[in-house]
Structure 1
C-alpha cells in the first residue's frame, strides 16, 4: 500500500514529537534552552512542516514555551507547578467518580474495573515487590484510572481528565517507578490499592461525595511521591525529566 502524503506527514510529526520529547526528558535539552525549527529539523531528520507541528504539540503538552523572537524554549517546572497539576488531575478524576456513582453503574459495567483490581492485588501481595511488578503496576494503574473515568459517561469530563493527566508529571503513575526504590514502597502501593477498592465500593453504592473525596485524596499519593523523589535523587534515572523540576527553595 502506497503511503499518502498526508499519512507520511502525520507519521513524521509523531516521530519528531517523540524524538524531541525524549531529548527534553532525558536532559539533553535543558530547561531554558532555545530550540529553533531549523535545529529541530536537523535533530530529527523530519521536514519542516511536521517539525513545526511537533513543536506546537510539545508546547500544548507544556514541555515547550514559544518565545517572541521565534522558536521555542524548554520549560522548567517548579515543585508547586507539578503539585498543582496533580491536584487538578485529582479534582477532575474525583468529579468523574462522583458522576459514575450518582448516575449509577451496573455490575457488568464494574466487572472490568474489579478485574483490574484483582490483577493489582496479585502484584502487591509480593513482599518485597520486584521492579518488574512495579512496571506491571504502572500499566494496570493507568488502566484502572481510564476505566473509572469512562464510567462517568461524560465525554466533556473525560476530555478534561485526559488533558489534566497529560500535564507534565501529573499522570496517575507518574512517580510509581521512582517509588519502587524507597523503603516503604510496598506500604504506599497497599494504601493506593485500598483507595482503589474504596472508590469502587462507593461507586457501587451510589455514594457520590465519598467517591469524589477518595479520588481527590488518592491523587495526593502522587504528590507525596513527588516530594520524596525530589529529596532523594539517587534513583532519578527512573523518572525521565526530573531535571526539569525545581524544588521549593531552589
Structure 2
C-alpha cells in the first residue's frame, strides 16, 4: 500500500512546488521585479528562489503557455511580454465566449453523473480553501490548482474534442488563462473577495448545467470573464494604475 501511494505523493508534492514557483514568478513579473521585455535568466532565478532548475523550468513553460512570457529565438530562454490593453481585453473575452459555448453544450447534451460529481467535489474543495483561516500565498496556490481543475472539468463536460483544442489555444493568449489572475497580492482582501465572487459564479454555472439550462450556463460563463475585463478597464483608467500589479506590462490603447 505504502509503495503504491508513495509515487502519487511525490507527484503531488512536485506539482505543488511547480505551482508555487509559477505564482512567485508571476508575482515578480506583476510587481515589476522582472521588467517588461526583460530576459529571464534561469540561473539567477534558481539562486534567487533557492529552488532547483526542474520546477523553475516547468513554471517558466506554464507562464509561456499563459502568455506572460515569450520564448526567445534559438532556445535562449524566455522574456517578459508586453501587451496592449486591447490585446488583454480581447483575449479574456474570447476565452469567456468559448467557455460559455462549452457550458451551453454541456447543458444541452447532458453530463454524466460522475463528471458532475467530480466538478462538485472540486467546488467543495475550493469552498474549504476560501473559508479557511489564514488566507495567504499557500491558500492562493491551492485555489489556483483547483480553479484550473474546475475549468478543465467544465470543458470536458462539453464532450467536444474540437472545443478543448481551441480553448487550449486561446489560453495561450495574454492573461486569458483562467489562472492568469491580474489581481492584487494573493493575501489581500481584494483578491479574496474577487475569488469568492468567482466561486459563486462557478456554483451557478454548475447548477445551470445540471438543470439543462443551456442559455443560462452560457451567459454565466461570459459574465464570469467580463468581470475580469471590467477590472482591467478600471485599473487602466485609475490614476493609481502605476500601483496595479501587471500595469507595467500593458500599454494603453491598441
**2:249 counterpart residue number:** 244
Please provide the CA RMSD for this pair. 4.1
1:197 aligns to what?
203
TM-score by length of 1: 0.66
Q: In the TM superposition, what are the counterparts of 1:1-250 in structure 2 within 5 Å?
A: 30-31=36-37, 76-126=82-132, 129-175=135-181, 178=184, 180=186, 182-227=188-233, 231-234=240-243, 236=245, 243-248=248-253
Structure 2 unpaired stretches of 5+: 1-24, 42-63, 73-78
Instruction: Call closer, same or farther: CA 1:177–1:129 in 2, change over 3 Å.
Output: farther
Take 1:135 and 1:82, find their aligned partners in 2: how far apart are those partners?
A: 23
The alignment partner of 1:169 has SS state of coil
Q: Which runs of 5+ in 1 are unaligned?
A: 1-21, 41-57, 67-72
Give, in whole Å, the separation in 1 of the partners of 2:165 and 2:71.
Answer: 23
Instruction: Decide which structure has the larger Cα Rg and report it.
Output: 1
Deviations 1:141-173 (A, max 9, x none): 111101100110111111111111111111112
Structure-2-length-normalised TM-score: 0.65
Residue 222 of structure 1 deviates from its aligned partner by 2.4
Question: 1:198-242: CA deviations, max 9, x gaps?
Answer: 000111111110000000001123224434665455473xx5xx5
**Alpha-carbon distance in 1 for matches of 2:109, 2:116:** 13
